[in-house]
Amino acid sequence: MAHPLDNIEDVQEFYEAIDRQHLTKALTPERPYTYWTIELYDKKNGIRGGGGLGVLAADTRRVAEQSSVPFVLITPFYPSEQHQHYEKVGDHFRNFTSHEAVDYTKYDYTFIDTINIKCNSAIISLDVIEKKLGSTRILCVTEPGFGELYSGESGGDHRLYQEVALGFGGYQALKLIGLKPSIMQLNEVATFFAALARLDELTSNGMDFYEAVVYTRKHTLYTNHTLVQAAEAEFNYDQFERYVFPNLKSMAVKKWLSDKFENGHIRLSTVTIEIAELRSGVSKLHARVANYRDLAGNKVKFKAITNGIDIPTWTAPGIVNYYTSKNILDKFCLPTADYKEKISTITAEDIRTQKQKGRDELNTVLAHRPDQYGNYIKIPDDALVFQFKRRFVDYKRPWLAFTRPETLKAILEKHNAYYILCGRVHEGDTAMSGQLERLLKLVDSDPVLKERVHYLPDYDEELGRALSIGANVSINNPIVGLEACGTSWMKDIINLGLLVSTHDGGVADCPADSYLSISGDTEAEELDSLYARMEEGASAWENDFDLEFFIKKELENYLPVISGTRMLKDYLDYLF
Ligand SMILES: *Cc1c(COP(=O)(O)O)cnc(C)c1O
């Protein structure tokens, strides 16, 4: 499939477009922007993630590639990944997890060399592999025993090993290919050891320790996605003696790190805050409310840089063309100076035409993605589709719309609507597997729900994209205050869908009348509101005037938020 964007030949053109010519000197192919992440969600390049953190990493790199910005993403290549299956056995829906080997040689990576790290009295040899994509690269460390993403207990030895391998191993890998980081962006605290490796290198090469700390701090950005510091797992001193200290050359750095333990324990966020002067949160609300303290006990300030998405990746090509031909987006996928006026020319007829094509794409994907019964469904052309697609974790409340089944049924029948649910339960989350099983049994017990509600297991990028493109109304109902940003809802809006959501995460960057907002002080009130908004969203699709009104309002407000290029621009502004 041809890329819907023009290929940008020259980064100068991008820097001129965003009026940041000075970046030509700050970021060069030899001194690139470096982005460190334990999770990448980019299956096309062989790496399956777990959720939003990995999708964000993949999108940040893609945006950098389209803008020709010199950028290196450093991440593990996991030699195994998980898949989820469902089967109905008697009255039960059985959840199976399977593990699949992944071979990097199948994804066009180049093997560079091996490097060593020391862990638990052993020398571990890591393969360094890379893949060049335009002005960007994916640089990975891996070995057969690396395990899966988030395998083992959080706070356990294996996690620490993976994080140490990424940090110390990744830093050596960068040197191996002859690059020095201009900036190090740490996508959450699991990447702390990369900044530590840099501090150790500077200090052991003779720089005064305090100068090295100042230097490292000035060039390190810690991006936080978590709201509560207390929720973070701790490591103990013994674990650091086995996995971390053996990889440090400088006594001063060892001493500095040892002093950060409290009662023999350490949280990586406390040391990440110490080593990174630049700190960001992933939406306006999250940056305000994230409750983090530094070692002195002061509340940490986070700069709000709301996540965006790579628009060409997540949007139907016809819709990207529609936005660029109408001059709503420029060729970098930034909103144009007068995007609001241009949005006012969008018509209901255009929306319906684009959505019909989207529905065909959705059906193409549904033809090979079974539902909870192992059946392949096809949504009729004249039906409406509600969708809920996100990780099945408690705070996102995937079960909410099923709390009053009679009300849900009435809405589905009245509007000839389907409700598609998608999302993986974290292995070991027995409470949520129980919720899902109850939900599937409820659906199974009722002929109307059984016809109109479908759960698609093994949620991934393909399903996420297809649902955004092909559904009409999306539902996002996290408990207010618990979503850091969320990006699935952005995929829905950019594909001309209506959003029903609580006012949380990045959604709360814009006023609550920008979309179909769920409100209420109690869950019962929120439920009344959820069903009322679903009804409103479904009715809007039956009326050109309302459809145009709501879609334009969403786009006028959220288009700049959604643009991943806007996000990259915000990072560059903050960093340089
Ligand atoms: C977009 C996407 C996400 C992000 O989900 P949020 O819950 O909105 O943060 C997660 N997983 C997949 C597969 C996605 O496509």
CA 506, 510, 516, 522 torsion-angle sign: positive
pLDDT of residue 9: 64
In the reported structure, the alpha carbon of residue 465 is separated from the centroid of ligand 1 by a whole-number distance in angstroms of: 10
461 lines ligand 1 (CB under 6 A): yes
460 lines ligand 1 (CB under 6 A): yes
pLDDT of residue 93: 86
349 and 204 part of one domain: no
Q: What is the CATH number of the domain that holds 354?
A: 3.40.50.2000
Ligand 1 pocket: which of 467, 488, 493, 499 to mutate (most atoms within 8 A of CB) = 488
Q: Give 215-243 pLDDT, tens digit per residue.
A: 999 999 999 999 888 889 999 999 999 99
On average, the pLDDT of the chain sits at 95
> Which of 305, 321, 342 corresponds to the end of one domain?
305
CB neighbour list of residue 327: distance below 8 Å, 6 or more residues apart:
336, 338, 339, 342
Atom from ligand 1 closest to the CA of residue 464: 15
Taking CA atoms only, the protein residue closest to ligand 1 atom 1 is 488
pLDDT of residue 8: 58
pLDDT of residue 91: 84
Question: Is 87 inside a domain boundary?
Answer: no
Question: Is 358 inside a domain boundary?
Answer: yes
pLDDT of residue 7: 56
Spatial distance between the Cα atoms of 458 and 463, rounded to a whole number of angstroms: 9
317 and 205 part of one domain: no
Domain range for 38 is 11-79+105-305
461 neighbors 43 (Cβ within 8 angstroms) = yes
> Which of 278, 305, 332 corresponds to the end of one domain?
305
| Domains held by the chain: number | 2
286 and 144 part of one domain: yes
Spatial distance between the Cα atoms of 457 and 47, rounded to a whole number of angstroms: 19
148 lines ligand 1 (CB under 6 A): no
In the reported structure, the alpha carbon of residue 475 is separated from the centroid of ligand 1 by a whole-number distance in angstroms of: 13
pLDDT of residue 1: 43
Question: Is 297 inside a domain boundary?
Answer: yes
277 and 246 part of one domain: yes
346 and 474 part of one domain: yes
In the reported structure, the alpha carbon of residue 517 is separated from the centroid of ligand 1 by a whole-number distance in angstroms of: 20
243 and 365 part of one domain: no
285 and 421 part of one domain: no
Question: DSSP of 5-66, one letter per residue?
Answer: SPPP--HHHHHHHTT-TTHHHHS-SSS-EEEEES---BGGGTB--SSHHHHHHHHHHHHHHH
In the reported structure, the alpha carbon of residue 533 is separated from the centroid of ligand 1 by a whole-number distance in angstroms of: 22
Tell me if residue 498 falls in helix, strand or coil: strand
324 and 234 part of one domain: no
Ligand 1 pocket: which of 44, 81, 306, 391 to mutate (most atoms within 8 A of CB) = 391
Tokens at residue 227, please?
């709201």
pLDDT of residue 266: 97
pLDDT of residue 309: 98
Taking CA atoms only, the protein residue closest to ligand 1 atom 3 is 52
Question: Is 84 inside a domain boundary?
Answer: no
pLDDT of residue 227: 84
Question: Is 527 inside a domain boundary?
Answer: yes
Question: Is 348 inside a domain boundary?
Answer: yes
In the reported structure, the alpha carbon of residue 95 is separated from the centroid of ligand 1 by a whole-number distance in angstroms of: 21
> Which of 305, 326, 354 corresponds to the end of one domain?
305
291 and 370 part of one domain: no
Residues of the chain short of pLDDT 70, as ranges, are 1-9
Question: Is 22 inside a domain boundary?
Answer: yes
436 and 291 part of one domain: no
In the reported structure, the alpha carbon of residue 334 is separated from the centroid of ligand 1 by a whole-number distance in angstroms of: 22
337 and 261 part of one domain: no
Residue with tokens 């990097």: 104
Question: Is 459 inside a domain boundary?
Answer: yes
In the reported structure, the alpha carbon of residue 507 is separated from the centroid of ligand 1 by a whole-number distance in angstroms of: 14
463 and 540 part of one domain: yes
